[in-house]
Structure 1
Amino acid sequence: MATDDQQLEIPPFFVCPISLDIMKDPVTVPTGITYERDFIEKWVFAQKNQTCPVTKLPLSVNVDLTPNHTLRRLIQSWCSINVSRGVERFPTPKPLASKSQISKLLHDHNSKSADEQIKCLKKLKSIAAISDANKRCIETAGGAEFAASLITLEDSSELVVEDEYVGASDEALSMLHLLQLSDPFLKSLATNEFITALTRIMRDGCYDSRVYAVMILKSITEVANTTQMAGLKPEFFTEIVQLLKDEVTPKATRAGLHVLINVSPVGRSRVKAVEAGAVRVLIDMLLDSSEKRVCEMVLTVLDQLCQCAEGRAEVLCHGAGVAIVSKKILRVSKVGSERASRVLHSLAKYSGSPAVLHEMMEAGVVAKLCLVLQVDSGARTKERAREILKMHAITWKNSKCLPLALLSSYPRS
């Protein structure tokens, strides 16, 4: 926005106080500060911050963003005056949706055919795409609830009569994903009925719907309480594990891992995940993947599953389980090393039979743990390695499999 020989001076009150870009759609929050709409919407709705970036005063989840028409007109006028200096005049922003507009749209299509409902959902999606404020408006006006009802409807007896609801369900699923739902609404979706519907979609749905289903499940499990997660059915874990096995998309894989991380702190959920074959699939993922974030997440889930006897038994039953977990130490990240060391600690502490200890020696686990003590591997990883080595020093310290170069690092008991 400047000529080659002269820097164009922008009036400071035309600039968003945080992003430092010239504002095109200025809005004022209840604290009195004016921001660019895109910035403050992302700050509040997408990033879920609840304070004003400048004043640090609290903002509600459904904060009112009041258009600052006077400032916008001043900026547009200034742009027009400086057109010769390379400044482009931006158009007037599209008007935002109103709650009454959304309510009327829902009322007009709620009892219509599935084709009409799909048209309604597509119209809602186009409105939602304009701004985050529109997404919040659609949710508060009942649009998200309408979409959720179509998803659960597919599991009802009405599906036998009208197969076209299947198409409406797919469209509803994509709209829910687009809306970036608020935490309170996500908590309301953590019901047996809705999660069962998403489980079925992960099993029978089309390519895109399977991805949307697991992404929504990720969001639900992030905010749901322990009681809501304790009653998850075995089929839920079966389909999450199958989705990981199918490698639908990298995004779906990460979402599926997030779901397992979110639900595995519940003891019964760990056992159900293990029974669904999660451990074998996770170890196979470690063998095949070198992506840092995926490996960290896989090791996090394995650490949680090894908190139960069934999980530890499955790791030991996999021919490469102990070896690949050990191999990831010092090769992924400090987080990955810490998670892997926790898995080995669980195996050594609770499943340290003579056969297991021999396998850990043969697989190079003991040598790797000695190496951890010699390098910068993180304080927690180093301390856990020391604990494991001390735990079975009588068995390991004088083993011929331990390289002499590492023997000096073996901790004294």
Structure 2
Amino acid sequence: MEEVEVPSYFVCPITLDVMRDPVTLPTGITYDRHAIHRWLRLAASCPLTKLPVAPDCEPTPNHTLSRLIRSWCALHRPDDAVDHTTQSAPADRAHLATLVSWLADIKNKPRSSQEALAALRELRDVAVEGERGRELVAALPGAPDALLQVFVASATCAPENAAAALDVVSSLRLPERFLARAIERDGAALVGALVYTLHEHSGSGSDAASRARAAVLLADVTACMAPSRAASLPEQVFVETVRLLRGDDTMGASASMATKAALRVLAGATAHGRNRVKAAEAGAVAALVDLLLLVNRDRRRAWCELALCALNRLCGCAEGRAALVAHGAGVAAVGAWVAGTSMAASAKAVRVLRSIARHAATGAVVQEMAATGAVGKLCVVAASAREEGRQWCDERTRERARETLRLHARAWLSSPCLHPTLQALYPC
């Protein structure tokens, strides 16, 4: 059969494929429902006209165009006709919108805990069906805000409801603008609810999945915070983050979604000075060093880069530096990444050692840096520009390595731990 050209007005401007469920925006442009819902989650504007569109806009179904597409497919693409006649059910969407509206009003009109749980589970069942279900729930007017409000309100008094709301929120993969709006509304309450969830699910027999979801959402929330808010996170955030890094019987191995989220929280939050002291006092330095010792370099390189980023920032305060040199393997764990396979990790490791050498270098620490091989690695990095094909770092990192080596050159050049070959590489 000769291929028939598809009419241009049957094609979605986003997917460039025949529309399955055509809907029209207030701008007058028609798109496939699934594609435009996904677009509006990321950008509140019409893709073609660039005119603004409300985030909670519900496009109008284009029934006439839908019938034309079905007729055309039945004539020219009979094998594909069934697929193109599959429509999302307006009644289902209306029912889900009613559930969202009902949940959004739960603070003003207290509802039965069981009724709220049933509504949340119904939304969750749709969201976990697949990408189309997630897009449907995310596109419901006010759904993300309502779910976050229910989670905050239920965290301390109705843990089942909070877990169900958190489950739906996690499945929706909320974009930054939704989280930023929630933070602006009541960021302290949201962080408090997440910390409470992490604490409550930290014991044996707890819900590991809920804890992991809370950790990921906490990482997303702290990443979206304005600097003024992020700089004043409560101490309990760091206590629970360190507990995640250390793991427990409930969470299983350290290679978990929660561990990565904890690293993201520490790496981001410690950019602010006040948080560094809180994290150091919570035991973050020791937990990060232990993670560096346990995590396989090749499989979890990105995790080590995050850990080294957090250690670098923690060494910006006296408490962080003291905790690192007090750890029996702190210098060795960091030094192992000075001349490794990752340029980012190498750069962070050099900066950590520079902080230690400059601000916390007792005689014992200076000897430890030589004995553990950290000084030798710094020599290799400092001279790496002379070696072809060995690009461990950039020029700034090489200069930091040279600067660090010059700080205690007399002690390290005379150290029996430094091989003669490395002494030859020592910067003058």
Normalising by the residue count of structure 2, what TM-score does the alignment of the two structures yield?
0.80
1:144 partner amino acid? L
The alignment yields a C-alpha RMSD, in angstroms, of: 3.2
1:376 partner amino acid? Q
Of 165, 169, 175 in structure 2, the residue corresponding to residue 176 of structure 1 is 169
| Matched residue, 1:322 | 331
* 1:371 is the counterpart of 2:380: yes
| Distance of aligned partners of 1:40 and 1:321 in 2 relative to their CA distance in 1, 3 Å threshold | farther
Would you say the 8 A contact 2:70–2:81 is kept in 1?
no
| Distance of aligned partners of 1:145 and 1:316 in 2 relative to their CA distance in 1, 3 Å threshold | closer
Aligned residues: 395
Q: Which deviates further from its counterpart, 34-43 or 362-371?
A: 34-43
- Kindly report which structure 2 residues correspond to 1:171-250, keeping only aligned pairs within 5 A, or say none: 171-181=164-174, 182=178, 183-191=180-188, 193-205=189-201, 206-246=207-247, 248=251, 250=256
Contiguous gaps of at least 5 residues in structure 1: 155-164
1:288 partner amino acid? L
Q: Which deviates further from its counterpart, 22-31 or 276-285?
A: 22-31
User: For 1:374-412, what per-residue CA distance to the aligned partner results, in whole angstroms no more than 9, with x for missing partners?
Assistant: 231231322322222233333324544333333343223
| Matched residue, 2:277 | 271
Would you say the 8 A contact 1:150–1:168 is kept in 2?
no
| Distance of aligned partners of 1:356 and 1:146 in 2 relative to their CA distance in 1, 3 Å threshold | closer
2:187 partner amino acid? A
| Matched residue, 2:204 | none
* 1:147 is the counterpart of 2:150: yes
Normalising by the residue count of structure 1, what TM-score does the alignment of the two structures yield?
0.83
Distance 2:45 2:332 in 1: 47
Q: Which deviates further from its counterpart, 207-216 or 127-136?
A: 127-136
User: For 1:275-326, what per-residue CA distance to the aligned partner results, in whole angstroms no more than 9, with x for missing partners?
Assistant: 1111111111111112122111111111111111111111111111111111
Distance 1:13 1:175 in 2: 35
Would you say the 8 A contact 1:280–1:318 is kept in 2?
yes
Distance 1:141 1:388 in 2: 50
Would you say the 8 A contact 1:263–1:269 is kept in 2?
yes
| Distance of aligned partners of 1:230 and 1:126 in 2 relative to their CA distance in 1, 3 Å threshold | same
Shift of 1:125: 2.9
Percent of residue pairs bearing the same amino acid type: 36
* 1:346 is the counterpart of 2:355: yes
| Matched residue, 1:112 | 111
Would you say the 8 A contact 2:103–2:116 is kept in 1?
no
| Matched residue, 1:299 | 308
* 1:167 is the counterpart of 2:160: yes
- Kindly report which structure 2 residues correspond to 1:25-64, keeping only aligned pairs within 5 A, or say none: 25-29=21-25, 34-45=30-41, 48-49=42-43, 61-62=55-56
* 1:132 is the counterpart of 2:141: no
User: For 1:37-77, what per-residue CA distance to the aligned partner results, in whole angstroms no more than 9, with x for missing partners?
Assistant: 434433442xx345665666666644664544444444333
| Matched residue, 2:426 | 410
| Distance of aligned partners of 1:407 and 1:195 in 2 relative to their CA distance in 1, 3 Å threshold | same
* 1:283 is the counterpart of 2:284: no
Distance 2:283 2:98 in 1: 49
Distance 1:378 1:409 in 2: 16
